[in-house]
Amino acid sequence: MRVLAFEDTYDLEAMLTSAKINLDEIVFLQRWNSSKPLEAVMQFKPDVLLLDFFMPPFNGAQVLAKVIEAAEQGSLSRPKHIIGISSEAKANALLEREGADRSVIKFDLHTLSIWN
């Protein structure tokens, strides 16, 4: 599984590892800002896209809108799972309303069934 994360504060791979998630079969790439998000998605071709809400220069909802629009236009393949991972529930709810498949508070990222 290929996972692309847009998160500017916390090392998500380290968080998952410390929560005893086995990442041996996962190719994990974290972008520490949201510049050129479409290029990152097109190049990496993630199965899972993790989106923080509060990050520069584009917030998670803006990145999500760009990805959805590009997928609808056929410019890229939509990741199988798009997951909001803000630390704020309201931001995650907004990401879900805007088209994310689900969301989770980032500190509970290890609880998602995608890691099993």
User: 14 pLDDT exceeds 90?
Assistant: yes
Percentage of residues in the chain with pLDDT exceeding 70?
100
What pLDDT, on the 0 to 100 scale, is given for residue 116? 84
* Closest C-alpha among 61, 60, 63, 43 to residue 2: 43
Separation of alpha carbons 35 and 24, rounded Å:
28
Domain 2-115 in CATH: superfamily?
Response regulator (3.40.50.2300)
DSSP assignments along 100-116, one per residue: -SEE--GGGGGGSGGG-
H or E element in which residue 92 lies: helix 89-97
**pLDDT (tens digit per residue) in 33-81:** 999 999 999 999 999 999 999 999 999 999 999 999 999 999 999 999 9
Per domain, the residue ranges of the chain are 2-115
**pLDDT (tens digit per residue) in 20-31:** 999 999 999 999
* Closest C-alpha among 62, 1, 12 to residue 37: 62
**SS3 state of residue 18:** helix
